[in-house]
Copies of this chain bind each other. A is one copy, B any other.
Amino acid sequence: MAQESSIPSPHEWGVGCRFSLYPMCDDFTGVILGALREADGTGLEVETDDVSTYVGGDERAILRYVCDVVAAASRRTGHVVAHLLLSRGCPGEVTCELGDDDAPPPASALPALPPTGVRAAAHWSLYPLGVTGHMDTIAAAVTSADTLTGSVHYASRLDGDLAEVLTTIGAGWVEAGAHVRHVVTHATVSVGSPTVREVLA
């Protein structure tokens, strides 16, 4: 990790994630705990409460960890959904310790995550904050999204291997963050769905 010594810490730049894992099964607690134990959280700050899990660390490590947790959960049961909130550029909770004119935080490199063999569908939304012209930033990110398969109200649809979908989400978040300091992105990522769409049709 020596090559990353110049990258500010997550605490300095507010880089991190909140995520929740929803295994749709009676043994949801066993699936969640097993998946969290199986995934490698080395170097990350992981704090779980009764609503969601905070993961602090660099962008690459966060995405790898979330991918590992969701893939591990999907191997333990059928239908699992994860909801992710990724944030960078705003340390603190209600207030922010950075000035409005501070430059965006530099990002760690984000190589594509290795394939999981798990098929995922996601609704993804990107929020460049504290700037005007946010729709242009969003449109640029969506246009270059590798796994884009459509759009719905308030979100873009992504389909692909779980790793590809999370790589797309991470890339959009970090690329928007190259010129916008505070960028948050949310995604609902579903694996193993029995395709409720057909049930409801």
Contacts and interface: CB of A to CB of B under 8 A. Distances in A.
Given A25-B24, A196-B48, A83 B154 contact: no
Interface in A179-201: 182, 184, 186, 188, 190, 193-197, 199-200
A139 B95 contact: yes
Interface in A145-171: 151-157
Interface stretch (A61-69, A102-110, A127-135): A127-135
A130 B128 CA distance: 8
A112 B198 CA distance: 35
Nearest to A87: B154
A52 interface: yes
Nearest to A81: B22
B16 A51 contact: no
B186 A50 contact: no
B26 A155 contact: no
Nearest to A96: B135
A70 B12 CA distance: 38
Contacts of A142: 94
B123 A197 contact: no
A53 B27 CA distance: 25
A51 B188 contact: yes
Contact of A190 (B16, B48, B50, B157): B50
Given A16-B153, A22-B24, 7 more contacts: A14-B153, A20-B188, A24-B26, A50-B197, A51-B188, A85-B154, A154-B184
Interface of A: 14, 16, 18, 20, 22-26, 28-29, 32-33, 36, 48-52, 54, 56, 79, 81, 83, 85, 87, 90, 93-96, 100, 121-123, 125, 127-135, 138-139, 142, 151-157, 182, 184, 186, 188, 190, 193-197, 199-200
